[in-house]
């Protein structure tokens, strides 16, 4: 398969070539993560406008590239290619024949219509692995419907659970959560397919649906409903399986998260609050007893946090070995010592702007760590090198293809 001519010999995915033909966030975030660990990622974009992600979110002030593009285009090279044209599709097939992975997230059937089905691509490359990301998956009655992360949150049941008990369903923090979760499942699928290919020599197709990625994270909700018939509703600032387990405001107006998931933790927490009487058998010594009277328990905790600042609550809980953390804003995160110590953010130079922080590669590998080497590329900056080296096209060939709107 492909071999990367670079200094990435120690990277775990060195020698893996990825064609990223996806747009927006789920597929691009998957490809970006692969690139962090040594894969050669070729971003394939339409000649007119490129990936819409280039213009989504905050304009970086660097050649019209958005911050989202700079982040999810990390460690990639960009080529332009009109897949709707016969020549463009043929060139993509030639690239796929020399690649290990293809990523696409168009509506199901779109790649097939362009002559780029998995079966077609695999005919010239039996080891090819193809990731298809879509809102609802490649089959089922909803397969042809457009899907975005917000729709996936609603479809998965997450939106129904998010918000105050008597209020409307709210946005669960990030409107792109389903995209990033699906990107992670895409990476997992690709890595497993690569491992299987080591044994069989055969590639395979990976089908990721945005809504399923989120639904998989909703703990026991499906079997619990089947067993009890209860429909879990919105949970507000607390949860249904433990108590106290939620967000509590402090005297300075700031908030903390406290999580007592078992009885031993609650005993320790009662000692912190100087209320050991609450952990007796006739009171709230068991998880079930606390859940049965959660309104009272949460009110007692809220009364205690209301009497102390956020820092005081954290200090007392930490000393008593009670799980507690400040509810941080991005401003807090930028100044947090834990983020700084672990270098969770990496400063990168943005052309024409200066240095900006970006999320560092994850997960952390002790011997072959990921690297953030470049941010989202300019459109088509890799045309000459990639098409020249991989497809043998000359400068005149590229000029002709550009005039015809193929690249």
Catalytic annotation, residues:
179
β-pair type (345-350, 245-249): unpaired
The closest of 2, 29, 32 to 373, measured between CA atoms, is 32
Q: Identify whether the C-beta of residue 242 lies closer than 8 Å to the C-beta of residue 259.
A: yes
Measured in whole angstroms, the distance separating CA 371 from the mean position of its chain's CA atoms is 17
Say if CB 153 and CB 172 are below 8 A apart.
Answer: yes
Return the bridge partners of 325, or none.
257
* Pairing label, strands 101-104, 17-20: parallel
CB 77 within 8 A of CB 42: yes
Strand pairing of 345-350 and 354-359? Answer: antiparallel
Q: Within 20-176, where are the H helices?
A: 26-36, 67-72, 86-97, 110-113, 118-123, 149-156, 158-161
Q: What is the CA radius of gyration of the chain?
A: 25
Q: Each residue of 106-143: b (16+ CB within 10 Å) or e? A: bebeebeebebebeebbeebebbbbbbbbbbbeeeeeb
Q: Lay out the sheet containing 101-104: strands in order across.
A: 76-80, 40-45, 17-20, 101-104, 129-134, 205-209
Taken as a whole, the chain contains a residue count of 407
Q: Where are the beta strands (DSSP E) in 6-62?
A: 17-20, 40-45, 59-62
């Amino acid at each position: 398969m492909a071999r990367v001519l670079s200094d990435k010999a120690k990277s775990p995915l060195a020698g893996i070539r990825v064609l990223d033909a996806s747009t927006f966030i789920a597929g691009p975030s998957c490809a970006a993560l692969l690139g962090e660990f040594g894969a050669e990622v070729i971003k394939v974009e339409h000649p007119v406008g490129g990936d819409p992600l280039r213009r989504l979110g905050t304009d970086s002030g660097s050649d019209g590239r958005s911050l989202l593009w700079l982040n999810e285009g990390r460690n990639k090279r960009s080529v332009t290619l009109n897949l709707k044209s016969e020549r463009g599709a043929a060139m993509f097939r030639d690239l796929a024949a020399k690649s290990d992975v293809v990523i696409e997230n168009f509506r199901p059937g779109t790649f097939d219509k362009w002559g780029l089905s998995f079966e077609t691509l695999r005919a010239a490359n039996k080891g090819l692995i193809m990731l298809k990301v879509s809102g609802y998956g490649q089959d089922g009655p909803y397969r042809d419907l457009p899907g975005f992360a917000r729709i996936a949150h609603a479809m998965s049941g997450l939106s129904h659970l998010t918000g105050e008990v008597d209020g409307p369903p709210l946005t669960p923090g990030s409107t792109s959560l389903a995209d990033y979760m699906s990107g992670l499942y895409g990476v997992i699928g690709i890595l497993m397919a690569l491992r299987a290919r080591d044994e069989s020599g055969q590639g395979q197709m990976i089908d990721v649906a945005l809504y399923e990625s989120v639904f998989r994270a909703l703990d026991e909700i499906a079997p619990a409903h089947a067993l009890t018939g209860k429909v879990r509703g919105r949970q507000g600032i607390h949860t249904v399986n433990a108590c106290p387990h939620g967000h509590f405001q402090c005297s300075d107006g700031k908030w903390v998260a406290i999580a007592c998931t078992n009885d031993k933790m609650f005993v320790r927490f009662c000692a912190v609050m100087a209320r050991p009487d609450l952990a007796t058998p006739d009171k709230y010594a068991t998880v079930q007893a606390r859940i049965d009277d959660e309104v009272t328990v949460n009110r007692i905790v809220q009364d205690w946090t209301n009497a102390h600042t956020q820092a005081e609550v954290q200090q007392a809980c930490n000393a008593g070995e009670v799980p507690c953390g400040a509810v941080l804003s991005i401003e807090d995160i930028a100044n947090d010592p834990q983020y700084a110590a672990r270098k969770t953010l990496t400063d990168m130079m943005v052309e024409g702007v200066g240095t900006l922080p970006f999320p560092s590669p994850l997960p952390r590998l002790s011997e072959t760590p990921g690297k953030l080497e470049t941010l989202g590329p300019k459109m088509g900056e890799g045309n000459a090198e990639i098409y020249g080296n991989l497809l043998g096209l000359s400068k005149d060939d590229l000029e002709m293809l550009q005039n015809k709107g193929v690249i």
